Amino acid sequence: APWPTPRSVRQATELHAVLTASGRLLNQPSAAHLLNSLASCISPGDPLHLRYALSLFDRMPCSTFLFDTALRACFRASSGPEHPFLLYRRMRRGGVPPDAFTFHFLFKCCSRGRAHVLLCRMLHAACFRTMLPSAVPLIASPLIHMYAELGLPGDARRAFDEASVKDAVAWTTVISGLAKTGLLDDARRLLAQAPARNVVAWTGLISAYSRAGRAADAVDCFNRMLSDGIAPDEVTVIGVLSACAQLKDLDFGCSLHMLVGERRMLVSDRLVVALIDMYAKCGNIGRAREVFDALGRGRGPQPWNAMIDGYCKVGHVDIARSLFDQMEDHDIITFNSLITGYIHGGRLREALLLFTKMRRHGLRADNFTMVGLLTASASLGALPQGRALHACIEQRLVERDVYLGTALLDMYMKCGRVEEATVAFKQMSVRDVHTWSAMIGGLAFNGMGMAALEHFFWMKCDGFHANSVTYIAVLTACSHSCLLDEGRLYFDEMRLVHNIRPQIEHYGCMIDLLGRSGLLDEAMDIVRTMPMQPNAVIWGSILSACRVHKNVDLARNAANHLLKLEPAEDAVYVQMYNIYIDSRQWEDASKIRRLMEERGVKKTAGYSSIAVAGRVHKFIVGDRSHPRIMEIIVMMEEIRCRLKSVGYSPITSQITVDVDEEEKEQALLAHSEKLAIAFGLISLAPNLPVHIIKNLRVCEDCHSAIKLISRLWNREIIVRDRSRFHHFRGGACSCNDFW
């Protein structure tokens, strides 16, 4: 009597028990029925039941059908290629002849398990030797698919060309395979040659165009598909919605949304996500929220993640956080989206707190999250937070890669910790051109121009080719360290040897270098001949150089250009006022004062900050509001006395107010950076560096005084001003008094 067909693994085990008790397990039809039913019940990613099926197969008589059934079980369980290869070898050694189904399932298992290319080609050769032409329709498609999944489009195309019979499935498989491996134009030509074009082939090409950033081609394919009379399905619409999001074509996106309703398509999580993403990227966040409220709330985390990401990208981080708090299940993507939103909004503290919460949820941070947090710490100069993230990396909570290592060294460089950045750089087993560029740029930013150029030399010795960003870092190093000959050499090398067209940043570095070196005429020649209009940064460099080298006429010209570009920028008025005062042009200086008053321009107040025990302390000129102000005043008096004892003379010419010399000296002593340093000296342990952040350029008097303080107190003092770092040690500064 026929046996019942099991519908689950449990029912299959019951049938197994019945067959064993009745002695019918070794009966060929009964054994085949049991194994075939069990193979049909195995779920993807189910190694336990696969082992049960294979152990059952081991006790059965050998036949081609049973081997094919065992291979089908491997495919259904998403097994790697090991089991299928062993079964095939055992089949050949046992003299059991393979058939078309054998190779059909072998090729499918190799596709899913990413088998070794050589073994796959050996299977292909064995199939070619043993199979008759009648087997081609069953074998061609999985063979083509296997090569496409292995990233071998040439082999996939050859397998298609060699097939004597090409059915619609084979055409669709090769077109989708070529598209997936990036040969989009070849796939498009094949699609045009296909005897019958179906929705799967069109969809594969449309999705590939969207993934490759060729959104216009994806939309064109979709329109041609409709003109062929082929109805799109859910997957097609998802691919075209992605293209709409890239093109920011809201009208076309709305028409696709209407099409979904008209054709009563199945609205899956992926389609809801695509609709939300399209509306958000097209700038209609309100419509995205309507889709989410109507279709996404009762689903898994994917629609929630899309809505949170959409709000973050338009700057509505608080609304995104509200949605986050309403979610029941958070995944790594949820946390990543909101952390990135906080970072882009400059809210580092919230980003780090959310990172801590993510770890409490048992979720491991991925490299994307860590790179974002390190980048934020770098931009804000948040050294303690950056070190905490470094500790997470050292605990192997994330896998080190070149992007993470580059972000780590960049963070230390932008926090003024050159030694720690150098250690991070040396520990990297793999580096790329971006790593070297970050290292060179970091050394330049910290005033270590010669060290930056040494690293540039080592980079070239390692076989890396400098790109445009690398040369910006190199030219910045030359500019910050007054390396005039080297700057000219590398600017010409970039243009003439590597054929890199200079951008405005490269011209800006050269103009700054020439201006600092006193070659103002040569700098202006570049301004006049460069192929783009000079920006405010370039005219600002010219103006600063004019003050140093006392060129009032050129300063007036540069200021006029700056005021056209940035009429409300107070630094321009202040620079011109100081230039006129230095050249004793009192009337012109008064005109600048009146112009500022008429235009409502106010000078930015200078301040300095220092972090002590996790708390940031901010000081402004003459500030007496600090709770430890009496201790600071005592230290300031000690600084004044000890500086005078070693011959320090305040540069009172920097004070433009008409007061006596003693008042000018007191005014210089009360500068914010000196107050911050005094607080650092009384608050920090003697072995710790004093790290100051200044919002404006450090003045000449403070620069001279801090050099002496670093020697008298035997302390390293790091000052980050508006444009660079100054590292003071033993009475010298890393900038070599060139800033």
Classify 642 in phi/psi space as left (phi over 0), alpha (psi -120 to 50) or beta: alpha
**Per-residue pLDDT tens over the stretch 428-465:** 999 999 999 999 999 999 989 999 999 999 999 999 99
Using 50, 70 and 90 to split pLDDT, how confident is the model at 8? confident
- Among the residue ranges 62-66, 533-537, 702-706, the one predicted with the least confidence is 62-66
CA distance 416 to 411: 9
Which range has highest mean pLDDT (32-41, 262-271, 549-558)? 549-558
Report CA-CA distances (Å) from 449 to 26, 473, 503, 700, 737. 82, 10, 21, 21, 13
Residue 171 vs residue 662, higher pLDDT: 171
- Among the residue ranges 75-79, 421-425, 518-522, the one predicted with the least confidence is 75-79
Residue 164 vs residue 628, higher pLDDT: 628
Give, to the nearest 10 degrees, the angle between helix 402-414 and helix 418-427. 170
CB-CB contact of 546 with 520 (8 Å): yes
Structural domain spans, the chain: 418-599, 620-733
This model's pTM is above 0.75: no
**Per-residue pLDDT tens over the stretch 104-143:** 877 888 887 666 777 778 878 888 777 766 677 788 888 8
Tell me what the mean pLDDT of segment 242-256 comes to: 91
Flag whether pLDDT at 738 surpasses 80.
Answer: no
Using 50, 70 and 90 to split pLDDT, how confident is the model at 11? confident
Using 50, 70 and 90 to split pLDDT, how confident is the model at 652? low
CB-based contacts of 43, cutoff 8 Å, min separation 6: 49, 76, 77
Question: What H or E segment, with its residue span, contains residue 427?
Answer: helix 418-427
Using 50, 70 and 90 to split pLDDT, how confident is the model at 654? low
CB-CB contact of 612 with 683 (8 Å): yes
CB-based contacts of 469, cutoff 8 Å, min separation 6: 434, 437, 441
**Per-residue pLDDT tens over the stretch 155-174:** 888 888 877 777 788 888 88
What is the SS3 assignment for 297-366? CCCCHHHHHHHHHHHHHCCCHHHHHHHHHHCCCCCHHHHHHHHHHHHHCCCHHHHHHHHHHHHHCCCCCC
Flag whether pLDDT at 80 surpasses 80.
Answer: no
pLDDT value at residue 653: 66
Tell me what the mean pLDDT of segment 629-633 comes to: 92
Flag whether pLDDT at 658 surpasses 60.
Answer: no
Flag whether pLDDT at 521 surpasses 90.
Answer: yes
Using 50, 70 and 90 to split pLDDT, how confident is the model at 514? very high
CB-CB contact of 238 with 274 (8 Å): yes
CB-based contacts of 358, cutoff 8 Å, min separation 6: 330, 332, 335, 339, 365, 369
**Per-residue pLDDT tens over the stretch 682-713:** 999 998 899 999 988 888 888 999 999 999 99
CB-CB contact of 265 with 234 (8 Å): yes
The average confidence (pLDDT) of the chain is 86
**Per-residue pLDDT tens over the stretch 256-293:** 999 988 888 888 888 999 999 999 999 899 999 999 98
Nearest Cα to 698, choosing from 663, 672, 679?
672
CA distance 31 to 46: 22
Task: Concatenate the DSSP letters of all residues of 134-190 into one string.
Answer: GGHHHHHHHHHHHHHHTT-HHHHHHHHHH-S---HHHHHHHHHHHHHTT-HHHHHHH
Q: How far apart are the first and last CA of the chain?
A: 97
CA–chain centroid gap for 688, Å, is 33
CB-CB contact of 244 with 253 (8 Å): yes
Flag whether pLDDT at 606 surpasses 70.
Answer: yes
Residue 209 vs residue 23, higher pLDDT: 209
Tell me what the mean pLDDT of segment 495-523 comes to: 93
Residue 634 vs residue 346, higher pLDDT: 634
Which range has highest mean pLDDT (326-335, 341-350, 494-503)? 494-503
Tell me what the mean pLDDT of segment 466-480 comes to: 94
Using 50, 70 and 90 to split pLDDT, how confident is the model at 350? confident
CB-based contacts of 410, cutoff 8 Å, min separation 6: 374, 375, 378, 421, 438, 442
CA distance 347 to 385: 13
CA angle 689, 691, 696 (to 5 degrees): 150
CA dihedral (656, 662, 665, 666) in degrees, to 10, reads -110
Report phi then psi at 590, rounded to 5: -65, -35
418-599 is a CATH 1.25.40.10 domain = yes
CA dihedral (331, 334, 336, 340) in degrees, to 10, reads -170
pLDDT value at residue 1: 42
CA distance 333 to 632: 48
Flag whether pLDDT at 619 surpasses 60.
Answer: yes
CA distance 156 to 146: 8
The 3-state DSSP class for residue 549 equals coil
Percentage with pLDDT > 70 across the chain: 96
Flag whether pLDDT at 94 surpasses 70.
Answer: yes
CA distance 208 to 217: 10
